[in-house]
Structure 1
Amino acid sequence: MYGSRYDRVPWGQRIYVRPGERLAREMQWRMRLRRTRVITLEEFQKQMELGEIEEFITCHLCGDTRQQPLFRPTGGKGKKISWSYRVVRCPACGFLYRNPNIRPERLGDLYAKNYSGFLTGNYAAGRQRRYRLTMDAFSPVFDQGHDGDGDRRLLDFGCGSGLFLELAEQRGFDAVGIDLSPDSVAEANRRLTRARAYYGVPEDVPEIAGGGFDVITLWSVLAHLPRPIQDFRTFRGLLGPGGVLLILTVNAASLQLKAYGSKWNGFTRNHLMFYSAETMPALLRRTGFAGVAFAPFYGDTVEAGTTRLPETMRRRLRRNVELADGGNMLRALAFADEEAIEKWGGGMKVRRLTGVSEPVG
């Protein structure tokens, strides 16, 4: 239908540059929602086997118990399936989540075995490029880690092998990290000079539990949290006055999800919950944040200027990302209080969490 011109476009970008594709995928999504039956939790439980580390849950954002089963992601090598789960939609608020989900006390089971093994080489270079691009999108929050009062304190929650902490060091932040993977923490501390990574949870580490952080970062962590309300209340308590929380996660409103369904690359073995710009504000509002701003994600190569797309396709991609979904990744900056909005919100479209959206500054 489109010809070889579009076949040469990388698949992740193709959906944003082919004429008419955005509208076709949105229609496809609406049809899927209309055709998929909403059932009670009891009906859903009868259809599912419960694994040893799993539990049935209801919507964490609004409490609705009804289930709309939409996807069954699977993964493995070749024809051998090594993991599979169900993703349901809350018919009340639209939140997507895995059900059955992982019991919080067993979350470490997903990361205990050499989880840092792939966090090296080309992967590491790509992740650090994405971190830099996201920091640029929320400038000037991350331009430098010190101000007139000294070094700004930063906590990287789910710090992995320290790829971001290394960048935070370079920008002058007084940085610490925490992670549930012991081998990742060991690798991070080998990498770092001033910053330090800790194994465990914030309340068990005195250097973190005292709070007073200027910045907390969640790099591809939010989708892994089985109790987001509890965790975000913790984050809010750890932030000092004027503090901000940076979130990078897969985007549950992505056109790629709407097009590829269970084969979407945001459905990975360890992902538990999936947020969009429509559902994330409910999480932040319930946990005491004052506002949130989103930055569109156009793709690493487009933002870095290394894409091979012709200029006409590049412009079309940016336009469709802005009109449709904000991109395949969701980038958000949450403001702890009005002081944070006044200090950092200038030039951003801040959505105050009383339901009012307005530019600041």
Structure 2
Amino acid sequence: MPDPATPPPADPLRSGEYARKQLFGRGLIGWSHARRFHAARRVVQPYAGRPLLDYGCGDGTFLALVRDLFPDSVGAEIDPALVDDARGRFGTAGGPRFIHTADVPALPDGGFGVVTCMEVLEHCTAEVAEGVIRELRRLVARDGVVIVSVPVETGAALLVKTAARAAAGLRGVSGYQDRERYAPGELARMLFAGAGTTIDRPVYETRFPDGSPNRYHGHKGFNWRVLAERLRRDFDLRDVRFSPVNALGGLLNSQVWMTCAPR
């Protein structure tokens, strides 16, 4: 059976902004992202056939990879340029629909059997993250699931990622030249982080191509265990797994996947 994260050359997926840099990237970074999308498909597969919302869909890569499993799917993205691009590449009859996150409040309560939010919440400021989590809870059906994935940026995984990002920056890989750096004390705290460990997280301010403001965090200081505790206030965490090698747990993995059922 072919790897679902390896589409044929003619697939419009290959022209996606994130797909080019991540899914089809080279070396450890490319391998890690390919395994992430493979894990994403595996996590959602048991719920195939239900209406799916991907909150923070980026360039539409994930929805393209699970189109056969979820013919009724919607992608919501904050960057208007990415929304327009995804509509152009995947907007054929029967394909996923793409909307701006500003239009999410108009979606019906409990309208989706599966709601995914992948590699999004780590970038949200605290106030924005609260709003997103409330929307995830509102949009999922009573018998549905919310699947959240975020990067592991603590413990030994942080050391591996720091080295990989530094190497990518030296090679001139787009997005890695201006990587975030830790002071020694900050690094020590995150290497031994527990469920309540935090450090100050820089907030960056840019603008989207349409001129609208964009305030966000990078990966520095993100602790997935803190987010897990927040999710437990509104959800039952049915399952927590890791990729690319689940057996290693949070020790040396890139991502954590949390399958949540609404309370």
Could you say which TM-score interval applies, normalised by the shorter chain?
Answer: 0.5 to 0.7
Which structure 2 residues correspond to residues 1-361 of structure 1 after superposition, within 5 A? 118-121=17-20, 123-125=22-24, 126=30, 127=33, 129-136=35-42, 138=43, 141-143=44-46, 145-146=48-49, 152-192=50-90, 193=92, 194-204=95-105, 206=106, 208-226=107-125, 227=127, 228-257=129-158, 259=159, 265=165, 270-271=217-218, 274-276=222-224, 278-286=225-233, 288-298=234-244, 318=247, 321-322=248-249, 325=251, 327-337=253-263
Gaps of 5+ in 1: 1-115, 147-151, 304-317, 338-361
Superposed displacement of residue 289, structure 1: 0.8
Are the equivalent residues in 1 in contact too, given 2:78–2:101 (CA < 8 A)? yes
Q: Is the 8 A contact 1:144 1:173 kept in 2?
A: no
Distance 1:252 1:119 in 2: 20
Alignment partners' CA distance in 2, 1:284 and 1:157: 16
Structure 2 partner of 1:351: none
The change in CA–CA distance for 1:326 and 1:153 in structure 2 (over 3 A counts) is: farther
Q: Is the 8 A contact 2:76 2:99 kept in 1?
A: yes
Residue 239 of structure 1 and its aligned partner are, at CA, apart by: 0.7
1: distance between equivalents of 2:134 and 2:102? 14
CA distance in 1, matches of 2:81, 2:46: 30
Q: CA deviation at 1:294?
A: 1.0
Aligned-partner SS, 1:171: coil
In structure 2, the gaps of 5 or more residues are 1-14, 25-29, 166-175, 181-203, 205-216
TM-score with structure 2 setting the length:
0.61
Q: Summarize deviations over 1:5-48 as a string: whole Å, max 9, x none.
A: xxxxxxxxxxxxxxxxxxxxxxxxxxxxxxxxxxxxxxxxxxxx
TM-score, normalization by structure 1:
0.46
Whether the 8 Å contact between 1:143 and 1:171 is mirrored in structure 2 is: no
Aligned length: 189
Q: Which amino acid aligns with 1:280?
A: L
> In structure 2, how many angstroms separate the alpha carbons of the residues matched to 1:237 and 1:333?
16
Give 3-state SS (helix, strand or coil) of 1:121's partner: helix
Query: 1:264 and 1:191, CA in 2 relative to 1: closer, same or farther beyond 3 A?
Result: same
Query: What is the aligned-residue RMSD (CA, Å)?
Result: 3.1
Closer, same or farther in 2 for the Cα pair 1:296/1:225, shift >3 Å? same
Alignment CA distance shift 1:225-1:285 (3 Å): same
Query: Which residue does the alignment assign to 1:19?
Result: none
